[in-house]
Structure 1
Amino acid sequence: MRFATFFAGLLFSFTCFKSALAAKSFSASNLYYAAGLKDAQQATLLEGLQSASVKVLRVWLDGQSRAPKGTPINSFPSLQGDSPSAYDNTVLNRLDKFMVKAHNYNIKLLISIHSYNALKDNRDFYGRWYGTGDFYTSTDAIRYFKDRIAHVLAHVNPANGKTWAQSSEYIFAFEAQNEAMHPQGNPKALASWQCTMAQSIKSGLAGNTNILTSTGGGSYLATSLLDSYFSCAALDVLAIHAYGVGDFDTAKLKTYVDHAKMAGKKLIMQEWGACYTAAPNNGGSPISAGARDANIKKWAAQIDAAGIPWFYWQILPNADPHQGWDYEVGINDVNWGSLKWAGLAAGNANSAFDFSKWLL
């Protein structure tokens, strides 16, 4: 009897110990034009994100000249302009300062080195010279983009005197391109390009394992997770983009979680959102604030239950003006309370992947 009692106590202690060791999830967000924020906007954003326990903010290096989503910004040019040698480091210099501020709020940056959006809109020479097809297959384009990656990772932040490749206190991960080859007309070429660029990032990191290498997602769940990504040794993190509500199904997500764990990869829901309108994806009439609150909490909880950390698209430092594709939520605006609640809940949820080494 005493032995049975002792054994039961030992088993209980072991179970509690295992539970205590379970990896915790986290919430994160996107703000692709963060380099344009003014000081007051930065403070509003970072204070709000911290209050929701947001741990990572994803930013891009493409230029921005207008006020997106109702956010007045200080415009900045793209990192590269009319030729491979036409670098303008304004965006890097802006983010140097911003990442230091973010660190003070226990937030790191995930840096997207380029975006398919910029390629499609011909915002730099990549789009004008190679287009959305040849960019992924041209030997010259691939060489120039590797140079871009090297340029970014070798950039020195004056705040710490270190290159971005060494600045793990500020940077969570690098990805080559947001939604690379968005229509995915040539999956084989895309897979090769994605792994080649991940290898280039790893080369620039020069053995620093305190910064992760990620993909930049795809148009929806399945296109975000091509089979070949799971076998690319240079990719640490596979990023999911999903706006169709069926892709938030816990059981559906768990099949990819199991695949990733077997392959030694980590997953993040890098882009998702609850639409302001009635359509399941985008469009239609606005829904009630209460209905959208319920959607935010429900879908975030489903992603949490699958064990995947998530990045909301997007949290704004201003009220959401409801422009175009409308998933944004403004800090202290309608629906902010529910998104903040979801962010805090994510931090208490168990994760299938241990990111603790890479978070503040």
Structure 2
Amino acid sequence: MPTFSFRNTSTGVVTTLEGDLPFNVSGLLPDGTYTVQALSEEAPSMITIATVSASVPAQVTTLSVTPGDGRNTLTWSAPGNGGSPITDYAIEVDSGAGFGTVADGTSASTGFVHTGLTNGTAYAYRVAAVNAEGTGAFSASASGTPVAPTSLPAAAEADAQGHWFFGTDNATDSDMITGQSLVASGAAPVRSNGYLSIQGQANGLLSHVADSADITFCAVVRRPLGTTRAILGGVMDSGAGAAQAGWSPFTWDTNDLHVRNKGGSEVVELDNDSPLDSFYFLGLSLSAAGQHIYFRGTPGTNIVNAGNTGRGTVRNLNVALGDVHFNAAAFVGSFDCAELIVWQSAKTAAELEAIFLRSRDRLAARGVTVLAP
């Protein structure tokens, strides 16, 4: 009697069928099974149905750990899902007393920043994927030892979680405080003397700094001639409802400079005559207590929008420069950036002004002129 075998490439399970009619495989169904049946409908009694059930995900095999100051950044690639979508990753850590669970919440993200660690202590990690069928095998362990920087550049904002200068002298987009590099998403940026250029929709750089209830994002940017509607950064994507409950400074709609703070003050027009082809300083501060401050350094009088409409839900995403998370076809403009600073703390308007003035001076030393009072 003829036989037919097929293999589920996610689980490795091989099923063999017997019969005197040819068989047809219809494909993977939404419930994680395959359907196989005889081709002829003239003899219904000969129709054979067979299924291969979903299984737990395959083992994670690509775990890496990048140390920082009091933190380790974990990254890995998604393994085969076993025929059922991966919904979470279990993370375990061992700092000398055996592996224990890391309380990282539920997320299908293939990365995690473990903070609050002791510099000089080695931390070993292992990761396993989770789906509706259960938890797959844990990865081989990978280790990282957080370390404080021996010294900070005089220009760095020492209390920030990340501070970047951009240009041809920083080809890896590395952070002055932790040494960690931004990760390109989409097209790589183009570097020039003292700044880099982000190319538009779906392109940008992902930082190691996670969104938090208190957050401050500052950048020195320039709108090139002819550019409209460019995403400057943040953690908001283009989904609906809770999926969009993040913040994103974005520009430019004609000459208007907007800030979007989903779940907080929503869309705010900060300026309807934003500078063209000149570098200027922008700052956004959100607090868990419910305050927002949007700031633009401006010749004469700084533009400030402040209020008690705070922020929406903290996203399980890292802060990005450019259009990493939003990725909407309406926002295709490019922009230039000379400096980026991110804090997991809120700043006052006076603090933002002081940061702005320091930024102006340190970028002048790099040959970049920032519009200033």
Q: Fold-level match, TM-score > 0.5? A: no
Structure number with bigger Rg: 2
Which bracket does the TM-score occupy, shorter chain normalised?
under 0.3
Structure having the higher strand fraction is: 2
Normalization by structure 2: what TM-score? 0.26
